[in-house]
Structures are given as C-alpha cells and as structure tokens.
Structure 1
Amino acid sequence: MGPQTLFALFGLTLGAHGTASADFINDSKASLELRNFYFNRDFRQDSAPQSKAEEWAQGFLLRYESGFTEGPVGVGVDALGLFGVKLDSSPDRTGTGLLQSDREKPNRAQDEYGELRLTAKLRASQSLLKVGTLQPKLPIALSNDSRLLPQTFRGAWLSSAEVQNLSLDLGRIDRVNLRNSSDNEDMQVFNGGARNIVLGHHKTSDALDFAGATYKWTPALTTSYHYGALDGIYRQHYFTFGHLLDLGEAGSIKSDLRWAQSQDDGGSNVDNRALGTMFTYKRGPHALGLGYQRMSGDTGFAYVSGADGYLVNLVQVNDFGNEDERSWQARYDFDFASLGVPGLTFMTRYLSGDGVAVNGRVEEGKEWERDTDIAYVVQGGPLKNLGLKWRNATVRSNFGPDIDENRLIVTYTVPLW
C-alpha cells in the first residue's frame, strides 16, 4: 500500500469523524524556526580537488502538530515546511551540504529550495501510527539535522507503550530526503572513508524494515534491541545499555554501551561488528567523558547514506566507523551557569583512530579529530531563546582529507500558537 493510498484513507477517516474535535484544534501547536548557517571547510592536503567548501544560507522551518480527534482511535496530522535561501556561494566553494545543487549546473547552488511534508497519525490507547514524513531517532534509522534543513524519511512507523516501562517500534521506510534536497529518493548505504563496502546487484533500496524494543528496568537503567534490514544490502542487530549512577554530592557516572552486528542481505559484502562504550563523570558544572569504539569484520559500519550512524564516536566530521578501526575519545563539558552566566556552555573533545584497513589492508590508516563548541542561549527579554553557536573542528588523516572547519549557527524559534 503506497503513501498516497494511506493518505486517502486518512482523509476518509477524518471525514468520518465529522468536524474536528476541540482536542484536535486546542491541542495543536505550531512554531517557526529561523536558522542562519555559515559553513567553512578548508581542505589542507595538497591533492584536494577543491581548496574549500564555503557557503552561507538562511533556513525557515515551519512545524505544525495537531491534536487528535475524540474516540477510541484519534486522528491527527503533522506538517513540516522547509525553505532554504542562498546568501553566499560560488561554483568553486559548493559542497557544504547547506544548499541544493542546481539540476542543470550541479556545481552551482540553487538560489532557494523548499518543500512541504505531511504526516498522518492515528492514536489508540498508548500506541501511535505515523505515515508519511518521519524523523526517527532510532539506532537503525537516525535522522540527521546537522545542516540548514533536516534530513527526513518517508514511510510508516508504529510505536507502542501499552506495557509499562516497555516501548516497541515497528515500521518500514521506503524513501530518504537528504538535508540539501527536496526530493524523496531510494536509499543507499554510506560508503565513505575506508568502509570498503562492495555492492552487488542492488545499488539502492526502497525498503528499510525495522523493529525494536526498549525496556526501562529502573529510572536509572535502560536496555534496548533494534533490528533493521535495508533490503538487498544489509541486515543489522543493535543492542544498547544505558545506566546513570548517582553518587550524591560526588556527582554521577553515565554509562553508554552499544554493540551492533551488520551482515549482507542479497549481494553486498557487508560484514561488521561495532562495539562502543562511553563513560561520563559529571560533578557540578563539569563533565568528563571517555569513550572507546572498535570495528571488526570485513567492512566498516553500515547505515543509510545521508542519515547518521548510531556510534559513540560519531562527532562533527567523522564517525570513526571504518573497517578494523579502533578509536578512543576524551571529552570535557562546562556549564557557565555556575559562574553566573546561564545559557553559556562549552565543549571540547579529541578523538584518535588507527588500525584502519586501507587498500585491502596494504596500509594502516590513522586519523584524529579535535572539536570545540561554544553555545549561548538568551535566557530572557525580547530575544529569549535566541541561540548562538560556534563549532570548530580539525581533522587529520593519512587516508582521507585533512580539514579545518568552522560553523556559525544562529537560531530563533517563534511559537505561533
């Protein structure tokens, strides 16, 4: 059953309820987010085909979420309006991911691009079915929102919380809409860096089936299992463990453990096991995190291209998920509210990876990345919730590009009702 048929059925269902109930109207909410984004990535290696990618753009994100009609099955609708405007770009500086390429001149960015995406939703008891545009945050389908406009999926997603402390997810995705595009497309597997994934007959897929269960054993302990299958390319099992240890006045320790197994599904050579651990000690305004990630198998970690991979070492530029890669991370956060400046935060981290299988294991790849974020959110007055963020990254690698990167992001969300 295609999305058009499902939306037609949704319209008939809504009509059967007659005039929308007060809950449908009164429980609705809408907001407009203004996102101004400057992106500068300098390529430092001599062999770089392009010296830098640099663009500046303005984004508008209109979000609407209705309430639900009355009755045993409540009906609702969500809408996501996206519009991006080019402020600065040129053919020799494209490729930032902020703007959509011109169809006739791919090395040029369009002056503007936009779209309207709809989601039908039905709620019964503690279960919710969404059909249409989806932005899941699941280990096997993680929507990417790191540029001007968010990446989205199209499909159907049923989530249920009928059993206390247990949440279930089931669904199918058939298209992906990339963050610098207004088109729904077949899905591909990310194969950058030294993933060394070889595709057979299936280069793309129109079906990502997924299912998962998350159980909250105590307020401090959660475990989950998720399964995903990108038809014709890979199958994936993902286990997670999260725990927060309260040490009272001494602070707290957060534990994040992840393990995934990915295998081919009809012709590719995908074969990967990914282990990730992250431990964060927090006391007062300070937080110190230490992480380790290990890839094994014949390829790197597999996930849908354009989305995010659910890895502990996924950071600003890299995810350290190449074949055979071992990587560690050290991170420090500070909240300036303790010094009388609420809304101001600082983060810095360093990651190093080695053991990467390059050119059929003839070479051993090494890479490192250093990131710094400084962010401020206005706490009061007419500009309350105005957000300012500077993101800086340095990447060096003996098998990939050397990068110096800066991102300046200004956001402001206006509640409409």
Structure 2
Amino acid sequence: MRHFNPIQPIYTPLGAALGLSLIGLPSAHADFIADSKGSLEARNFYFNRDFRQTGARDKAEEWAQGFLLRMESGYTAGTVGFGLDALAMAGFKLDSGGGTSGTNLLPADSSGGSQDRYGEVGLTAKMRLSNSTLKLGTLQIKDPVVNSNDTRLLPGTFKGGQVNVQEIDRLKLTGGQLTQINFVDSTDYQDMTANRIGGTSDKFQFAGADYQFLPNLTAQYRYGRLEDIYQQNYLGFVHTLDLGGGQSLKSDVRYSRSTEDGNFRDLDNQAFGALFTYSLGGHALGLGYQRMSGDDPFPYISRSDPYLVNFVQIGDFANVDERSWQARYDYNFAALGLPGLTFMTRYISGDNVQRTAPGEGKEWERNTDIAYVVQDGTFKGLGLKWRNASVRSNFGNDLDENRLIVSYTMSLW
C-alpha cells in the first residue's frame, strides 16, 4: 500500500495560525467543534467496458470497494475564523485480472494490472471573514473552467487555494490557483496537462463572478489560465421560466473562447452550447446543441471534467469543428408515489469532425441511468445506480459500458 500523502509545507502558515487561535481563544472551541460534521461514505463500484471495434482488446472489467471519510470543522470565534477539513480515502480491489484492468477504478501496477489497495489523506486549512472564505490544501472544485472528476471509485482532487467572496447582494466572486492534480486512480499529485493539446504546467489560475440579475436568471463569467499552455474566457446564462400549471422551461447557454498562453503553440477554439429543458410533473425533456469552431479541440485539464452541455458519460463531443445534438428525457417516479426512484436516458449525435483519414468524422453516444435511494427505514440513504452507455464512431472506439454503483453515506456526528 502506498504511503498517505502529508499536507505540503506551503500550507503550514495558515495551519499554525489555526493552532494559535485555538490556544488563545477558549470560547472558539464551541464554534470550531459544535459546528463540525463528519461522514463516512462506502462506495461499491463494478465497471465493465466491452470494446466492439476490430483489433481492440476484448474488455476492461473491475470491481472495487471504496471508503471516503470526510471531516469538516466549524470556524473559530472572532472577526476572522479558522478551520480545518480532512478527506481520507481508501480503495480495495475485489476482482480484476486476465488482462481486464484499465478501468480507472484502481491504480496500475508494474505488471500491467491493478494494485490491490490504495489510499491517501488530504487536509484543507480554511479561513472565514464575514461572508467570504479562503481554502488552502486539498480541493474538490466544481467551476465552469475547472471541474474535479468524481466518476470512479474515489474522486480526483487538486492541490491549491480558492477564495469565495459574497459581500454584495446577488454577487459572488471567486478565484484561485491550482498547482497539481491527483487523478481518480492515483495517490500521487502531478503537474497538469491539457486534454488533446499536451504540454505540462504547475499553475492553473482562475477568477470570475456569478451575478443573479433576477431570482430566475443568473449570469457567470470566468477566466482560466493553464500557464504557458492555454487561456480561456467563459460566459454563461441560466434562466428558468415558470409556465404555470407545474410547467417550467430551463435555458442553459454557454460560450467560451480559448487561445494559447505563452509560446507553447498556437491555439484557437470557440465552444458554444445550449441546453433547453421543459419540465412537467415528474417529466423533463431536454434538447441541446453544441458547436466547436476554430483550428483546435476544446482545451481543458486532462482527467478533469469539461463544463460542456454535451459532455456525458464517456464522450465530450469537443473535437475540431464538431457539431453535436442531444435529446434527453428524465422521469422522477415520486410523481407516481415512488420517491427516490429516478430514470434518465439521452442520445447525442456528433458530426463534421476533422480527422486524419479522408471523410467526415461522426460519432454517437446513448446513455441510460436508473437510480434508487432508500427513503426511510434501516437502510435509509442507501443508493443503487445502474449506468449504461453505448458509443459508436468512425474515428474512435466503439464500445458498450455498464457501471453498477452501490453507495451509503453515514453521518458520524
């Protein structure tokens, strides 16, 4: 088993300040401890991917058990409050062999298979002033220009700092700097690269604002920069229109412009996406469109999740000049008196892809999710999910995939 990763020295000044605050402020213990919370999540994950194209390996198939211990303190009393969060993760192989590794559930071993077990501990020092917070250390981020991946046994994380400022009504400011990434199937932090673009960097900077113009209309702007590789400007709008009678129409529109940073190489991409979702009772019908323009594919940090309307279970439909359409249907069985049971299916079709071989590149993907969360009784909170996907392409992999996930989160205090 690999050694757990210690917190890096760069974060010790805030940790030291936290310690001094606890010693010097006896009343601080009440907020620091009383407002704390802890949880333990058990995640059982079976992954099967069958490759359908000629000449490919037969399949990737593994089964693993993961545990995630999350501990979040409150803040010490005073004008400036300090706190500390911890994330401890461990994964264990239940079944893998015969050349079926490579699902990204488990780290690879030296023989081409998977390790039997792995784990790590991440610490996050935090500070609060009024309605603003600063976090330094291990971060899981969900943002239009950088998104942590949480689609396997254990989530991916970043190392860095993030600040959120909410001192003006309806306005949220955010910014930060990330220095390294830890993949979902790794315990080692490493420098970041750009998907399909390449390069290596130890600095990703981002900043921007969310502004709520109306209770049902929010606008977002972000700037992101992977030093010496690319920079990106993002603008998005989310609007929900109440149509009455239990009906609504949600509009999610996104645009980003990406260019080179430094002298890495010329880069040019414009990405437009829009997803419109009509809801009535337990039903929701969505229609989406995504278009890539420019000489390059959409750049984002490798092994993270791009913020695109047509980024789905397997594909991102973000190749050079690609156009893609999505049709999606969701149903919440609570409308039939079965709360906790949900269904989703969608189909995405892409074309106009530039490829090395002659002719137009085309691909499609179909996803189906069925999920149930126990609502009461002894097993309240137990979640069961089946995720199925099929992909066909004339320039990439043809594959069918199934993921079975059983999860249970227990509150510790």
Same fold (TM over 0.5): yes
Structure 2 partner of 1:109: 114
Query: What is the one-letter code of the residue matched to 2:364?
Result: W
CA contact (8 A) 2:21 2:82 kept: no
Residue of 361, 367, 370 corresponding to 2:363? 367
Structure 2 partner of 1:302: 299
**SS class of match (1:25):** helix
Deviation at 1:247, TM superposition (A): 0.8
CA contact (8 A) 1:3 1:155 kept: no
Q: Deviations over 1:201-249 (max 9, x none)?
A: xx21000011010001111000010000000110000111000000110
Structure 1 partner of 2:102: 95
1:172–1:3: structure 2 CA closer, same or farther, 3 Å change rule? farther
**SS class of match (1:123):** strand
CA contact (8 A) 2:18 2:83 kept: no
Residue of 303, 314, 334 corresponding to 1:317? 314
Deviation at 1:342, TM superposition (A): 1.1
Residue of 252, 261, 266 corresponding to 1:265? 261
Q: Deviations over 1:295-315 (max 9, x none)?
A: 000111000001100000010
CA contact (8 A) 1:270 1:302 kept: no
Query: What is the one-letter code of the residue matched to 2:169?
Result: Q
Query: What is the one-letter code of the residue matched to 2:161?
Result: A
Residue of 145, 153, 168 corresponding to 1:163? 168
Deviation at 1:10, TM superposition (A): 2.2
**SS class of match (1:337):** helix
For the residues of structure 1 that align with 2:37 and 2:265, how far apart are their CA atoms? 44
Deviation at 1:16, TM superposition (A): 3.7
Query: What is the one-letter code of the residue matched to 2:69?
Result: L
Structure 2 partner of 1:194: none
**SS class of match (1:162):** strand
Deviation at 1:270, TM superposition (A): 2.5
1:190 and 2:195 are equivalent in the alignment:
yes
Structure 1 partner of 2:53: 45
Deviation at 1:341, TM superposition (A): 1.3
For the residues of structure 1 that align with 2:211 and 2:98, how far apart are their CA atoms? 50
For the residues of structure 1 that align with 2:69 and 2:304, how far apart are their CA atoms? 21
Q: What TM-score results when the alignment is normalised by the length of structure 2?
A: 0.96
Deviation at 1:63, TM superposition (A): 0.4
Query: What is the one-letter code of the residue matched to 1:363?
Result: G
1:344 and 2:341 are equivalent in the alignment:
yes
CA contact (8 A) 2:39 2:409 kept: yes
CA contact (8 A) 2:21 2:76 kept: no
1:172–1:91: structure 2 CA closer, same or farther, 3 Å change rule? farther
1:76 and 2:73 are equivalent in the alignment:
no
Structure 2 partner of 1:32: 40
Structure 2 partner of 1:287: 284
Residue of 47, 66, 72 corresponding to 2:73? 66
Query: What is the one-letter code of the residue matched to 1:321?
Result: A
For the residues of structure 1 that align with 2:16 and 2:40, how far apart are their CA atoms? 26
Query: What is the one-letter code of the residue matched to 1:313?
Result: N
For the residues of structure 1 that align with 2:190 and 2:97, how far apart are their CA atoms? 26
CA contact (8 A) 1:325 1:357 kept: yes
1:146 and 2:143 are equivalent in the alignment:
no
Q: Number of residue pairs matched?
A: 403
CA contact (8 A) 1:287 1:334 kept: yes
CA contact (8 A) 1:220 1:243 kept: yes
For the residues of structure 2 that align with 1:31 and 1:10, how far apart are their CA atoms? 22
CA contact (8 A) 1:91 1:109 kept: no
For the residues of structure 2 that align with 1:176 and 1:268, how far apart are their CA atoms? 23
**SS class of match (1:161):** strand
Structure 2 partner of 1:57: 64
1:248 and 2:244 are equivalent in the alignment:
yes
CA contact (8 A) 1:234 1:268 kept: no
Q: Deviations over 1:383-415 (max 9, x none)?
A: 001000000000000000001000000000010
Query: What is the one-letter code of the residue matched to 2:312?
Result: V
**SS class of match (1:129):** strand
Q: What TM-score results when the alignment is normalised by the length of structure 1?
A: 0.95
Q: Deviations over 1:24-78 (max 9, x none)?
A: 0000000000000000000000121x21110000000000110000011100001
Deviation at 1:91, TM superposition (A): 5.0
Percent identity reads: 58
For the residues of structure 1 that align with 2:98 and 2:178, how far apart are their CA atoms? 34
CA contact (8 A) 2:193 2:201 kept: yes
Deviation at 1:3, TM superposition (A): 4.8
For the residues of structure 1 that align with 2:104 and 2:98, how far apart are their CA atoms? 14
Query: What is the one-letter code of the residue matched to 1:32?
Result: L
**SS class of match (2:85):** strand
Deviation at 1:90, TM superposition (A): 1.2
**SS class of match (1:15):** helix
Residue of 380, 387, 405 corresponding to 1:384? 380
**SS class of match (2:334):** helix
Range with bigger deviation, 238-247 or 90-99: 90-99
Query: What is the one-letter code of the residue matched to 2:108?
Result: S
Structure 2 partner of 1:124: 129
**SS class of match (1:174):** strand
RMSD between aligned residues: 1.3
1:396 and 2:404 are equivalent in the alignment:
no
CA contact (8 A) 2:93 2:116 kept: yes
Structure 1 partner of 2:350: 353
**SS class of match (2:177):** strand
CA contact (8 A) 2:47 2:62 kept: yes
Structure 1 partner of 2:210: 214
**SS class of match (1:144):** coil
For the residues of structure 2 that align with 1:9 and 1:274, how far apart are their CA atoms? 39
Query: What is the one-letter code of the residue matched to 2:259?
Result: Q
CA contact (8 A) 1:300 1:324 kept: yes
